[in-house]
Amino acid sequence: MSLDTQVNKARVLVEALPYMRRFDGRTFVIKYGGHAMVDEALKKSFAQDVILLRQVGINPVVVHGGGPQINQTMARMGLKPQMIDGQRVTDQETVNVVEMVLAGKINKDIVNLINLNGGRAAGLSGKDGHTILARKRPPKRKASLEAEQPEEIIDLGWVGDVEEIDITLLEMFKNSDIIPVVAPVGVGRKGETYNINADAVAGKMAAALGAEKLILLTDVTGVRDRDGHLVSRLEAADATRLIKEGVISGGMIPKVETCLSARRGGVKAAHIIDGRVEHALLLEIFTDQGIGTLVA
């Protein structure tokens, strides 16, 4: 290794030092999903990133998704996933698969990944300690495309919205070196199981914990403006305007809205970053420039 390479590595550490000091003792809620959960190199770099965060005094809380894995499991079981406007229709059989895959398989794989890379992690779902109290998402009316046809009533089944986050269990992890990994499965007041959007869970959890940061890992570079350029810093008023103008569209809308909701809930900053980049977390948190979009 040349001297110049060694000096550059030292400069990276010096650049990171003020951020390490600033965030010591703070909580970061990280939504882990997309390609970063599939590619082996990205999986390893993610585990290393959250371990390093914990090592320098930051309290990372990982909330994970798993839509593609649920689809794969359903296909092997001879079940056909049904989606309406990007949302999974979740009947009783489907919610059983969702819980099995998210809480039983993916969650433990992520825990094992962190442990194998030198950290300590523990997995839980929203049912543990009633961490995620949920309520059923009410059916909604959708106008028919045919003028003479009546409105369609859409009921997604056992799909829930977060009613309350109980942070008791998560606070216990804060005083240890264990990284909590949370599956977005909620529980109703009568013990019902609900499938909940992982971004929404992460946002609500960040607000409940008084987190310093909410970080959403995605399969895009971040929010882009009308000309296709990455928006490094997105103010709330600009976000609302870009959504109305159709510049922010599709799957990016709920992510931005999750960030805005978390900010209104007291989260200091929310980030949308590209999980396809190795060590994306460290690049966003510990460098002056960052790599994604900061919703400020």
Would 76 be classed as within a structural domain?
yes
Would 118 be classed as within a structural domain?
yes
Would 261 be classed as within a structural domain?
yes
Would 1 be classed as within a structural domain?
no
Looking at residue 278, what is its pLDDT?
95
Structure tokens at 3: 């001297």
Would 17 be classed as within a structural domain?
no
Looking at residue 142, what is its pLDDT?
67
Range of the domain at 176: 22-284
Rounded Cα gap, residues 56 and 72, in angstroms:
37
> What burial letters (b/e) apply to 216-244, b meaning 16+ CB within 10 Å?
bbbebbbbbeeeeeebeebeeebbeebbe
Q: Which of 252, 182, 168, 262 is nearest to 214 (CA)?
A: 262
Would 99 be classed as within a structural domain?
yes
Q: Which of 67, 57, 56, 74 is nearest to 32 (CA)?
A: 67
Q: Which of 290, 263, 254, 256 is nearest to 274 (CA)?
A: 290
The tally of domains found in the chain comes to: 1
Looking at residue 83, what is its pLDDT?
86
Task: Check: pTM over 0.85? Answer yes or no.
Answer: yes
Q: State CA 173 to chain mean position distance.
A: 19
Looking at residue 148, what is its pLDDT?
61
Looking at residue 149, what is its pLDDT?
60
> What CATH number does residue 130 fall under?
3.40.1160.10
Looking at residue 175, what is its pLDDT?
84
Would 6 be classed as within a structural domain?
no
Residue 230: strand pairing partners: 224
Q: Is 121 left (phi over 0), alpha (psi -120 to 50) or beta?
A: beta
HSE at residue 208, side-chain half, CA atoms within 13 A, is 20
Residue 216: strand pairing partners: 31, 272
Q: Which of 180, 172, 161 is nearest to 61 (CA)?
A: 180
Rounded Cα gap, residues 159 and 63, in angstroms:
17
Would 296 be classed as within a structural domain?
no
**From first to last of its 296 residues, what are the pLDDT tens digits of the chain?**
777 777 877 888 899 999 999 999 999 999 999 999 999 999 999 999 999 999 999 999 999 999 999 999 999 999 998 888 778 999 999 999 999 999 999 999 999 999 999 999 999 999 999 999 999 999 886 655 555 666 667 889 999 999 999 999 999 998 899 999 999 999 999 999 999 999 999 999 999 999 999 999 999 999 999 999 999 999 989 999 999 999 999 889 999 999 999 999 999 999 999 999 999 999 999 998 899 999 98
